[in-house]
């Protein structure tokens, strides 16, 4: 006997009893995007590999270690998207959205991403990411709006134990000055660090501060802080972001060591953490920041942008850790019982007519006896039951029975839908 085929490592099935949670989260996200006026964009699941090499950055773990890359039959190198921003910015440039009269262009996306990494709670190789991008404005108010939308997503589903951490990565001038200081700091003892840090020293030394292997090395604690290298323009910008967050009543913590894992970030960077007990070592729910320069890197005109991305799986894990229940499956409203094969045709059309009136209805499709059908209605937690036999066919009337109270209401078939809708 052949072995059963199982799903690939790092993936999962969302079963019907779980999908109701997903649907509720997605509905809340869609409604918030409508209120904030972020319009949905859908990009391909795979792109040319070069997009992520240029857009995400050659020195990132994503590009170096985690991408699912393959050659297609035309010998082109393609990659399953590991994140959403590069694809959205590519679409923004390719479709000349920078030419629209209303800027910034506010976009949202939701869909599967793929990274080859060690599977663990809330972190899988295929995962669903929701994100937004606001492209075409360098107003600190749009930074605060993007952050507030991310916070509102978590609040809307009932999460309370949240912590917003922000930092400024500075403009290009500030980052060059800080980069030189970091190289000078780490270079004499770089051979004590992991291979990744050694390769990052001259390319992107800021990423050394984000290293999980050498996080406890003594040089980490004494590394030059980016905050000390921010020029006046960067400080003023960051102060503006903080003042808008304060105006919205959003609490935050400034962490000068916060660096995002993607090369394209500058100025505002932020993460939203879960403080829920039992969440594990990796508490980040959402991360984002400003990426002035990314549009130009991908062939477009100067168009500053900011965005965030959040894992829906990690959101659901945070709900579980806080004990928040969402997505209760909608119960069945009417179960239609056919006494025998001769009345099944009528039961079938009644079910269809109820559904056409917006009423959830179901029936038996296994030829079971009336008693078994009634048990099925009970298991499905149906609000009402209708039993159709020869008497009902002849009289044109049927009893609508409430499963909660046992009360019955005799109605003509044509009156069923209206009576159920009135009793909701």
User: What pLDDT score does 147 carry?
Assistant: 98
Which tokens go with 93?
A: 């440039």
Over residues 249-262, the mean pLDDT reads 83
Over residues 385-404, the mean pLDDT reads 95
User: What pLDDT score does 409 carry?
Assistant: 94
pLDDT above 90 covers what percent of the chain?
71
Q: Which residue did the predictor score with more confidence, 272 or 209?
A: 272
Span between the terminal Cα atoms of the chain, in Å: 52
Q: Is the distance from CB of 368 to CB of 383 less than 8 angstroms?
A: no
- The structural domains of the chain, with segments of one domain joined by +, span 16-171+231-322, 334-422
Over residues 320-328, the mean pLDDT reads 90
> pLDDT-derived band of residue 59, with 50, 70 and 90 as boundaries?
low
pLDDT above 70 covers what percent of the chain?
97
Q: Is the distance from CB of 130 to CB of 27 less than 8 angstroms?
A: no
User: What pLDDT score does 261 carry?
Assistant: 56
pLDDT tens for each residue of 347-361: 999 999 999 999 999
**Own/partner pairs, 25-34, CB within 8 angstroms, 24+ separation:** 25/157, 25/312, 25/315, 25/316, 25/326, 25/327, 26/110, 26/312, 28/153, 28/156, 28/157, 29/108, 29/110, 29/130, 29/153, 32/149, 32/152, 32/153, 32/156, 33/108, 33/132, 33/149
Same fold, 16-171+231-322 and 334-422: no
> pLDDT-derived band of residue 63, with 50, 70 and 90 as boundaries?
confident
Into which CATH architecture does domain 334-422 fall?
Answer: 3-Layer(aba) Sandwich (3.40)
pLDDT tens for each residue of 132-156: 999 999 999 999 999 999 999 999 9
> What's this model's pTM, rounded to 2 decimal places?
0.87
pLDDT tens for each residue of 8-34: 999 999 998 899 999 999 999 999 999
> pLDDT-derived band of residue 98, with 50, 70 and 90 as boundaries?
very high
Using H for helix, E for strand and C for coil, what is the string for 103-143? CCEEEEEEEEEECCCCCECCECCEEEEEEEEEECCCCHHHH
- The CATH superfamily label for domain 16-171+231-322 reads Bira Bifunctional Protein; Domain 2 (3.30.930.10)
Which tokens go with 231?
A: 């020029």
> pLDDT-derived band of residue 260, with 50, 70 and 90 as boundaries?
low
């Amino acid at each position: 006997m052949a072995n059963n085929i199982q799903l690939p490592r790092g993936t999962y099935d969302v079963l019907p009893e779980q999908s109701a949670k997903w649907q509720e989260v997605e509905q809340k996200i869609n409604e918030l995007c409508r209120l904030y006026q972020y319009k949905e964009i859908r990009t391909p699941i795979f792109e040319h590999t070069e997009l992520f090499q240029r857009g995400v950055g050659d020195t990132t773990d994503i590009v170096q270690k985690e991408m699912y890359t393959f050659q297609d039959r035309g010998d082109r190198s393609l990659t399953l998207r590991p994140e959403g921003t590069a694809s959205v910015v590519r679409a923004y440039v390719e479709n000349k959205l920078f030419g629209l009269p209303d800027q910034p262009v506010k976009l949202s996306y939701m869909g599967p991403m793929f990274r080859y990494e060690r599977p663990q709670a809330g972190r899988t190789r295929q995962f669903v990411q929701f994100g937004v991008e606001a492209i075409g404005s360098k107003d600190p108010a749009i930074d605060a709006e993007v952050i507030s939308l991310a916070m509102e997503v978590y609040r809307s589903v009932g999460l309370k134990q949240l912590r917003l951490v922000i930092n400024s990565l500075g403009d290009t001038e500030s980052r060059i000055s800080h980069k030189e200081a970091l190289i000078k700091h780490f270079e004499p003892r770089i051979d004590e660090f992991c291979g990744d840090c050694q390769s990052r020293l001259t390319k992107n030394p800021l990423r050394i501060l984000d290293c999980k292997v050498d996080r406890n090395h003594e040089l980490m604690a004494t590394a030059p802080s980016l905050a000390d290298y921010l020029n006046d323009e960067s400080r003023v910008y960051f102060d503006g972001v903080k003042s808008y967050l304060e105006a919205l009543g959003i609490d935050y913590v400034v962490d000068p060591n916060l660096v995002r894992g993607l090369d394209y970030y500058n100025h505002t960077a932020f993460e939203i953490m879960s403080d829920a007990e039992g969440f594990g070592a990796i508490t980040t729910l959402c991360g984002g920041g400003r990426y002035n320069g990314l549009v130009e890197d991908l062939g477009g005109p100067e168009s500053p942008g900011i965005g965030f991305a959040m894992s829906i799986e990690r959101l659901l894990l945070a709900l579980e850790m806080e004990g928040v229940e969402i997505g209760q499956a909608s119960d069945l409203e009417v179960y239609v019982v056919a006494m025998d094969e001769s009345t099944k045709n009528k039961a079938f059309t009644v079910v269809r007519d109820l559904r056409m009136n917006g009423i959830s209805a179901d029936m038996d499709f296994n030829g079971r006896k009336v008693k078994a059908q009634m048990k099925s209605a009970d298991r499905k937690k149906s609000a009402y039951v209708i039993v159709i036999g020869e008497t009902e066919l002849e009289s044109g009337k049927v009893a609508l029975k409430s499963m909660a109270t046992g009360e019955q209401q005799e109605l003509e078939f044509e009156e069923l839908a209206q009576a159920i809708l009135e009793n909701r």
